Chains A and B, each alone.
Chain A
Amino acid sequence: MSTVAAEAALPLADRTITEVGELLRRREISSRELTEACLARIHRDGERLNTYLAVGEERALAAADAADARLAAGEGSDQPLLGIPYALKDIFVTRALDDAGLPDGGLPTTAGSRILEGYRSPYASSAEDRLSAVGAVLVGKTNCDEFAMGSSNENSAYGPVRNPWDESTVPGGSSGGSSAGVAGGQAYFALGTDTGGSIRQPASLTGTIGLKPTYGRVSRYGMIAFASSLDQCGPFTRSVRDCAQVLGALAGHDPRDSTSVDVPVPDYPAALNGEVRGMRLGVPREYFVAGMEPGVEAAVREAFRVLEGLGAEIVEVSLPSTDAGLATYYIIAPAEASANLARYDGVKYGLSAGEDDLLDNYLRTRGSGFGAEVKRRIMLGTYALSAGYYDAYYVKAQQVRTLIKAEFDKVLADVDALLAPTSPSVAFKIGAKTDDPLLMYLNDACTLPVNIAGLPGVSVPCGLSDGLPVGLQVIGRAFDEATILRVADAYERAAGFASLRPPTAHD
């Protein structure tokens, strides 16, 4: 079923940014052709896989033509994303109104929710602004779990996304449209958001690269908030080098996001020298959680051997509070969500039930506009913050957060990076876990501690189990994305899974 072939033999839509970028700059291909290749895939597979919530064909082709003009004028040697088609998770607002408040042809924004159906943003996110500035071509907005709450994309108000590897399975979540889109050749890269694993876990389930940068590394201006002390945005790509290129375009301080930190941005692609000899890589023993699929554990442990073969020293380490991560996360994230989602009140924008009484209007607007998982988390968060429970739940979780972070800091003082599974399972069947919220939450057991500590983590494909992709997670020190990308890139070059593509990879 799977296609393992030489890169050059892959269809245009399935190649890497690095490869098509080279062709673009040599003028052997145009941005318009790349955009048309993505659009052709979207026409063929998009509706069936339910990857996109909005596609802007005309605007994309116009942006591609503009990029082609810049390339023809000799630009592009220092702009690796010039002319490259990409997608944004529908959590990023895209400007869709002119100053008179009239639709300007831009794409709507829904956050995967009925409560924002028909919403047109009066401003653009910093992510879109930065990518537009370097000439990347926005193709559309991808499906996702409602307000990024979920691990399977089944919580989208607009239906589940199907995994191109096996269309009866989920693509992971919450950034499931972005993962499926990049895996399936419907964009050369896509942005997702990651609050507890929502980039890394779907990357793992779709055989793509997914990076959650350090908290504060990338601006979140215009990214619809879920849990503000945990949320971060990052790329999905088909190679680690591509990931480094996109991170380079996104990273850096933004005066419009006061939680973005003013730390110098290194040359990420330059860090990918293929060299891990002498590096110390820690394997936290607590990450091989109960219930992990044997095929996942086998693939991940084999990846450790590959890195050892490249000269890295693999050492077992311990993060004793890992077990408490899930409970800590499911207090902090819902608590912050309950506050962030208070803004959907039926007054300023979005759905309104049209009741004459304000309180009734709040109750009916929010009761009918939010889906089951969002309601569950608002309830959980409101409860944890309510009088009499605040200390027992919220303060307690923040104290355990201190412990989890301190353990990471201690271990990462001794090793250069950590290696772990990304997800305890490969892609599961649509519907398999929807009746049991707790079972669904366990998907993020290996990713959410990284958000709690605010560290960077990347998932890179490390083989197949039962014919479905497995992800290796590399976790690093704060603001040291360069090291984890270097490890992931060295592994990718050595392991031979770089050309792994799903069955959709044909014209």
Chain B
Amino acid sequence: MISRADVEHVAALARLGLTEDEIDRMQGQLNRILEAIGQLQSVDTSAVGPTAQVIALENVMRPDEVREPMARDAALANAPLREGDHLRVPVVLEEGR
């Protein structure tokens, strides 16, 4: 069973701001879903390795050629905050923090 504190911890990891109501509802729903998912523990997988994806591709390479990048103004056009040619982000490092 996951507790209310577990829900708050996972929400913090996922950077999801949840309301008190959402935390309550989420706790009940996640417990029901996890109970159903728990059936996997009864499958014997002692002799099998994990599959991350089904096509046997690795290290796909392309020629190292100089190409025209996306236009900077187009790439920045959707940014909520912009300063010159940069995305603007709230201060993350400041004295005293």
> Is B1 among interface residues, defined by CB-CB distance under 8 A?
no
Give CA–CA (A352, B87) in the complex, Å. Answer: 13
Chain B contacts for A366, CB-based, 8 A: 14-17
Determine if A327 and B39 form an interchain contact, defined as CB atoms under 8 angstroms apart.
yes
Rounded to whole angstroms, the CA-CA distance of A328 and B78 in the bound complex is 36
Contact of A346 (CB < 8 Å), options: B2, B52, B62, B80? B80
Nearest-neighbour CB distance to chain A for B67, whole angstroms, equals 11
Q: A370 on the interface (CB 8 Å rule)?
A: yes
Residues in A whose Cβ lies below 8 Å from that of B78: 119-120, 122, 348-350
Q: Give the docked Cα–Cα distance between A100 and B72 (Å).
A: 8
Bound-state CA distance A379–B32 (Å) is 13
**Binary contact readout B1-34 vs A (1 if CB under 8 angstroms, 0 otherwise):** 0100011001101111111001000100110111
Q: How far is the CA of A403 from the CA of B47 in the complex (A)?
A: 10
- Does A101 count as interface, using CB distance less than 8 angstroms? yes
Q: Quick check: A395 and B50 within 8 Å, CB to CB?
A: yes
List B contacts of A426 (CB < 8 A): none
Shortest Cβ distance from residue A216 to the other chain B in the assembled complex, whole angstroms: 5
A215-B74 in contact given A324-B40, A331-B40, A358-B89 (Cβ < 8 Å): no
Docked-complex contact A376 and B30, CB < 8 angstroms? yes
- Which residues of the partner chain B approach A289 to less than 8 Å between Cβ atoms? none
**Chain B: minimal CB distance from A449 (Å):** 12
- Neighbouring A residues of B30 by C-beta, 8 Å: 376, 379-380, 383
The smallest beta-carbon distance between A232 and chain B, in angstroms, is 11
B87: which of A259, A331, A348 is its contact (CB, 8 Å)?
A348
Inside 8 A of A401's CB, which chain B residues have their CB? 50-51
Say whether A405 contacts B54, CB under 8 Å.
yes
The answer to whether B51 and A402 have CB atoms under 8 Å apart is: yes
- Residue from the set B7, B77, B92 with the largest chain A CB neighbour count within 10 Å: B77
- Check: A19 CB closer than 8 A to any chain B CB: no
- A302 at interface, CB cutoff 8 A: no
Spell out B's residues near A (CB within 8 Å).
Answer: 2, 6-7, 10-11, 13-19, 22, 26, 29-30, 32-34, 36-41, 43, 45, 48-55, 57, 60, 62, 70-71, 73-81, 87, 89-92
- The listed residue (B10, B36, B77) touching A383 by CB distance below 8 A is B10
B79 x A399 contact (CB < 8 A):
no
Give 8 A-B contacts (CB < 8 Å), ordered by A residue.
A100-B74, A215-B53, A215-B54, A261-B55, A376-B30, A379-B14, A383-B34, A406-B48
C-alpha spacing A330/B35, complex, angstroms: 12
In A325-342, which residues have CB < 8 Å from any B CB? Answer: 326-328, 330-331, 338, 342
Residues A378 and B41 in contact, CB atoms below 8 Å apart: no
* Chain A residues, Cβ within 8 Å of B75: 101, 122
Q: Does A98 reach chain B (CB closer than 8 Å)?
A: yes
Is the Cβ of A363 less than 8 Å from the Cβ of B17?
yes
Q: Which residues of B contact A437 (CB under 8 A)?
A: 29, 32-33
Interface presence of A135 (CB below 8 A)? no
14 further A-B contacts with Cβ under 8 Å, apart from A120-B77, A396-B41, A454-B53, are A120-B78, A324-B39, A326-B36, A338-B14, A352-B80, A358-B90, A358-B91, A363-B17, A376-B33, A380-B30, A380-B33, A382-B10, A399-B45, A399-B51
Residues of A within 8 Å of B81, CB to CB, are 347, 352
**Cβ–Cβ < 8 Å partners of A362 in chain B:** 15, 17
Q: Report the Cα distance A261→B58, complex, angstroms.
A: 11
Enumerate the 8 nearest inter-chain pairs by beta-carbon distance, A residue then B residue, closest first.
Answer: A367-B17, A454-B54, A398-B50, A363-B17, A101-B77, A349-B78, A352-B80, A101-B73
Q: Is the CB of A97 within 8 A of B51?
A: no
Whether B14 contacts A100 by the Cβ 8 Å rule is: no
Is the Cβ of A386 less than 8 Å from the Cβ of B13? yes
B12 to chain A, nearest CB (A): 8
Contact for A438 among B22, B36, B38, CB less than 8 A:
B36
Instruction: Please name all residues of chain B whose beta carbon is closer than 8 Å to the beta carbon of A403 when the two chains form the complex.
Output: 43, 45, 48
Given known pairs A324-B40, A375-B16, the reply for A402 and B48 (CB within 8 Å) is yes
Does A78 count as interface, using CB distance less than 8 angstroms?
Answer: no
Are the C-beta atoms of A122 and B41 separated by less than 8 Å?
A: no
Verify B73–A100 contact, CB threshold 8 A: yes
Residues of A within 8 A of B7 (CB): 379
Instruction: Assess the B54–A379 pair: CB atoms within 8 A.
Output: no
Task: Judge whether B71 and A99 touch: CB under 8 Å.
Answer: yes
Q: Which residues of B have CB within 8 Å of A323?
A: 39
CB of B8, distance to nearest CB on chain A (Å): 11
What CA separation (Å) do A99 and B70 show in the bound complex? 8
Cβ contact within 8 Å between B55 and A259: yes
B6 / chain A contacts, CB cutoff of 8 Å: 383
Q: B29, B54, B91, B92: which has the most chain A beta carbons within 10 Å?
A: B54
Contacts of A324 in B (CB 8 A): 39-40, 43
- Judge whether A321 is part of the interface by a CB distance below 8 angstroms: yes
Asked whether, in the complex, the Cβ of A354 is within 8 Å of the Cβ of B80, the reply is yes
| Cross-chain contact B33 with A330 (CB below 8 angstroms) | yes
A356: interface (CB < 8 Å):
yes
How many Å lie between the Cα of A399 and that of B79 in the bound state?
Answer: 40
Residues in A neighbouring B26, C-beta threshold 8 A: 375-376, 379
Residues of A within 8 A of B51 (CB): 398-399, 401-402, 405
* Distance to closest chain A CB from B21 (angstroms): 11
